A = this chain, B = another copy of it.
């Protein structure tokens, strides 16, 4: 096969893989862990069982790749939104809002299914824990950068960690009902409290 013919085929293969991963995340977020079998994901992706098995021989392979995909997507999404920040006093408010976004929506729902499944599955836990630690570190680092926060100041490091923990808790509160109005009020007050910590001398 010529190089010209191989490249598009690689592209197609990559696109198929991508479609399967996105279908896996979508499945996790909507039908939950136990409903997200290889067959269900393949059908949702519109990919044949054969092609699916070529990419992901087992459910474990598919899920692991989906975990990695979710992790890098969550970090990329945060990085992209933090790269384009307004200057001035609205900055803290904007950053807090973006972190709130990171822990709501489809990606968070899918990740939550994985965490909870991993809590009673040793093998899955062994894969999820290092990835989640990586996401946590990156989210923290990006937040510190975006806020130009001085972590040497007392309380600053903990207040930024608390921002991520709070957002995770708000994501959970939003799981079964639309909690967006209450969340907006909580995050507004949180922004004010965080600004106090960041600007304290």
A185 adjacent to chain B (CB < 8 Å): yes
Residues of B within 8 A of A35 (CB): 120
Using CB atoms, name the residue of chain B closest to A117.
B32
Given contacts A159-B193, A196-B193, A196-B196, contact A176 B120 (CB under 8 A): no
| Contact A176–B129 (Cβ < 8 Å) | yes
Chain A count of residues within 8 A CB distance of the other chain: 50
Interface centre among A31, A133, A158 (most CB of B within 10 A): A158
Q: Does A132 contact B (CB under 8 A)?
A: yes
Whole-angstrom distance between the alpha carbons of A166 and B109 in the complex?
18
Hey, which chain B residues are within 8 Å of A129, CB to CB? 176-177
26 A-B Cβ contacts within 8 A?
A35-B120, A109-B119, A112-B116, A115-B172, A115-B175, A115-B176, A118-B176, A119-B175, A132-B176, A155-B189, A158-B185, A158-B190, A159-B189, A161-B185, A161-B186, A162-B190, A164-B169, A165-B166, A165-B170, A167-B169, A168-B172, A169-B169, A169-B170, A189-B197, A193-B193, A193-B197
